[in-house]
Amino acid sequence: MQPQTKLPKVGTTIFTVMSQLAAEHGAVNLGQGFPDFPAPQRLIDETAKAMREGLNQYAPMTGVAPLRQAIAQKALDCYGAQVDPDSEITVTSGGTEAIFNAIHAVVRAGDEVIVLDPAYDCYEPAIDLAGARAVHVALDPQTFAVDWDKVRAAITPKTRMLMVNTPHNPSGAMLSAADMQALIDVLRGTAIYLISDEVYEHIIYDGVRMNRRCVTRNCASARL
């Protein structure tokens, strides 16, 4: 008898299918975010050097202090954001783990989490495992723009979290300054958490830059 899975709806994802097809046909793979060039030699050398110097044991749960301090400095240099490396930064082994951890830190059984479709395939399984329900709001099928009226209409007393992804995976669409203002307006006065998945934040197309604005203090946010 086959054991029952905790995630009966999760099968082979579209990202897996597209990666297999890309490999089969020698196509450019836009379904996964790995580079088509080798790791920089300096990174390889520094990694080997750190291993030789004994920096290969258990790290603190939040990440080693120099790395957290470097991340805080990067946030200041890039966005002018003052981030406390000791209380506001946690290092994970990847973006998917960070998303899973952030969801499970605050989402409880019976809650609702709004996701914008199409969404990266790790979102809904993490929501399901938390005992919550993903509420899907479709993006425009032509432009992948967000209909903020639909987002507002999807909010209920059970809404615990809203997830946004910019630049969007898999379309590459980006939230504009007007989108950021609409996001602020939608969440103002609520206790809804915001996860902003920005794994592609430094990939720039056509000179367009990411739009950065702080969400109101009434909305807690987690920038990944």
Residue finishing a domain among 32, 66, 86: 86
* CB-based contact 101:126 (threshold 8 Å): no
Query: Do 141 and 169 reside in the same domain of the chain?
Result: yes
Least confident stretch, 31-40, 57-66, 80-89? 31-40
Rounded Cα distance between 49 and 53, Å, is: 6
Q: What total of structural domains would you count in the chain? A: 2
φ, ψ of residue 152 in degrees (nearest 5)? -60, -40
Query: Do 116 and 157 reside in the same domain of the chain?
Result: yes
Structural domain including 166 reads 92-223
Query: Do 127 and 176 reside in the same domain of the chain?
Result: yes
Closest CA to 189 of 220, 147, 213: 220
More confident position, 94 or 2: 94
Confidence of residue 222 (pLDDT cuts 50, 70, 90): very low
Query: Do 115 and 198 reside in the same domain of the chain?
Result: yes
Tell me what pLDDT residue 215 has: 36
Considering the domain boundaries, does residue 122 fall inside one?
A: yes
Considering the domain boundaries, does residue 65 fall inside one?
A: yes
CA 26 → CA 12, 22, 29, 147, distances in Å? 21, 6, 9, 36
Rounded Cα distance between 80 and 77, Å, is: 6
Query: Do 73 and 167 reside in the same domain of the chain?
Result: no
Considering the domain boundaries, does residue 17 fall inside one?
A: no
The CATH number for 213's domain is 3.40.640.10
Considering the domain boundaries, does residue 218 fall inside one?
A: yes
Rounded Cα distance between 120 and 96, Å, is: 10
Query: Do 187 and 106 reside in the same domain of the chain?
Result: yes
Confidence of residue 123 (pLDDT cuts 50, 70, 90): very high
Closest CA to 158 of 195, 185, 132, 186: 132
Considering the domain boundaries, does residue 190 fall inside one?
A: yes
Which residues have a Cβ under 8 Å from the Cβ of 139 and sit 6 or more positions away?
Answer: 116, 117, 118, 145, 146, 147, 168, 171, 173
Rounded Cα distance between 8 and 137, Å, is: 22
Tell me what pLDDT residue 201 has: 81
Confidence of residue 66 (pLDDT cuts 50, 70, 90): very high
Considering the domain boundaries, does residue 15 fall inside one?
A: no
One-letter amino acid identity for 45?
D
Confidence of residue 15 (pLDDT cuts 50, 70, 90): confident
Query: Do 138 and 217 reside in the same domain of the chain?
Result: yes
Query: Do 139 and 171 reside in the same domain of the chain?
Result: yes
Tokens (6 digits) for 205: 């197309």
Rounded Cα distance between 184 and 218, Å, is: 10
Global pTM value: 0.81
Q: Which of 53-67, 79-93, 168-182, 202-216 has the highest mean pLDDT?
A: 79-93
Residue finishing a domain among 28, 54, 86: 86
